[in-house]
Amino acid sequence: MRVLHLFKTYLPDSMGGIEQVIYQLCQSSLPHGIHSEVLTLSDNPIPSELRVADHCVHRAKLDLQIASTGLSYSVLKRFRHLAAQADVIHYHFPWPFMDLLHFLAGVKKPVVVSYHSDVVRQKYLMRLYSPLMQSFLKRADRIVAASPNYLATSKVLHHYRNKTVVVPYGLDQRSYPVPQAGRLNYWRERCGGRFFLFVGVMRYYKGLHILLEAVHGSDYPVIIVGAGPLEVELKAQARRLGLQRVQFLGRVSDEDKVALLQLCAAIVFPSHLRSEAFGISLLEGAMFGKPMISCEIGTGTSYINVHNETGLVVPPSDPQAFRAAMDKLWDDPEMCERMGRKAQERYGQLFTAERMGRQMALLYRELLTRH
């Protein structure tokens, strides 16, 4: 069976959470007879086709960006050609231009929509987009949510519960590099024996300003991995607060990221808005057996991190509550170890790539048979 995935960005140009999910999905469904291809946009689509691991990626020229929505003049022709060869079309929402492409291309194949997130920030543009979005979601044969939490709290998904299924995102730990002893020693010397770790892009919904406020007045070592649009602003906040033990590492290699995940005492994940629909880096922490601190925002973060079991869940936008959770984990290493083991067990039960690939393969075959 051939499945075509469509999203506005993908590897190797962009390495965010949705891109990671698509990658894991393409790879994990292959043993079940699913041959995946990805169509995406790129600033520099040369070559226009390349292989990422075991699947093909097709890239069309990104011509324009409006309100985080990539537009392309050439992608429609490519999409029509690739869709004609596919058995199932798998869209990754939200990307309003994708909805338009679907109708312009006249797609008649079975359609799966992975509903990664509500449209949260562009409230005024949402009024214009809503009719197109509703028509697009009505056309979908199945909508896939990543957690029961998000399905329960999304006002949009409420209208489509009869055709929405939950398939949690999954990761394959074997696809992550094993750090060499030298890299582990390097980071152990640089970061110390115990530290809190954040991994992610510095976007508005990640709540890093809350984390910095939370550690103000403490001596906790905090390592921040990643870059993004708020990097300069956050570094200025750290200087203003006098946070001597907060280190901004920027982007690091996958080997270094795994080394830091293995060495840290706990994962801090202060995302405070429901634009954070799941939290792949939070799941990476669970995969490596680390306790977590996250915020209750009604999304998949609280499906990964179960309060008082795999870590601690606190109210959003509350630096004092976040600090209290950090105090609790720091002062009780035994509790850290216990919660970390529970987190890893939960990962093994619910969030492996193998489980995700198997569930999606069954869904594809069901739709193709019905269609």
Instruction: Give dist(CA 348, CA 369) in Å, integer.
Output: 31
Q: Who contacts 174 (Cβ-Cβ below 8 Å, separation ≥6)?
A: none
Q: Who contacts 14 (Cβ-Cβ below 8 Å, separation ≥6)?
A: none
Task: From first to last of the 371 residues of the chain, give the pLDDT tens digit.
Answer: 999 999 999 999 988 889 999 999 999 999 999 999 999 999 999 999 999 999 999 999 999 998 888 999 999 999 999 999 999 999 999 999 999 999 999 999 999 999 999 987 777 778 889 999 999 999 999 999 999 999 999 999 999 999 999 999 999 999 999 999 999 999 999 999 899 999 999 999 999 999 999 999 999 999 999 999 999 999 999 999 999 999 999 999 999 999 999 999 999 999 999 999 999 999 999 999 999 999 999 999 999 999 999 999 999 999 999 999 999 999 999 999 999 999 999 999 999 999 999 999 999 999 999 98
Q: Which two tokens stand for residue 342?
A: 């529970």
Q: What angle do CA 203, 67, 121 make, to 5 degrees?
A: 55
Global pTM value: 0.93
Q: Residue 121 has what DSSP assignment?
A: S
Residue-range domains of the chain with CATH: 2-172+352-370 (3.40.50.2000), 175-350 (3.40.50.2000)
Number of CB atoms found within 10 A of residue 13's CB: 16
The answer to whether 363 and 112 have CB atoms below 8 angstroms apart is yes
Which backbone phi and psi does 249 adopt, to 5 degrees?
-90, -15
Instruction: Give dist(CA 61, CA 50) in Å, integer.
Output: 14
Return the amino acid letter for 165: V
| DSSP SS3 for 104 | helix
Per-residue pLDDT of 172-219, as tens digits, reads 999 999 999 999 999 999 999 899 999 999 999 999 999 999 999 999
Residue with tokens 């009869």: 162
Per-residue pLDDT of 32-58, as tens digits, reads 999 999 999 999 999 999 999 999 999
Residue with tokens 């990658």: 23
Alpha helix positions (H), the chain: 17-29, 75-85, 96-105, 123-139, 148-153, 181-191, 208-215, 231-241, 254-263, 280-287, 301-304, 319-331, 333-350, 353-370
Q: What angle do CA 292, 262, 272 make, to 5 degrees?
A: 25
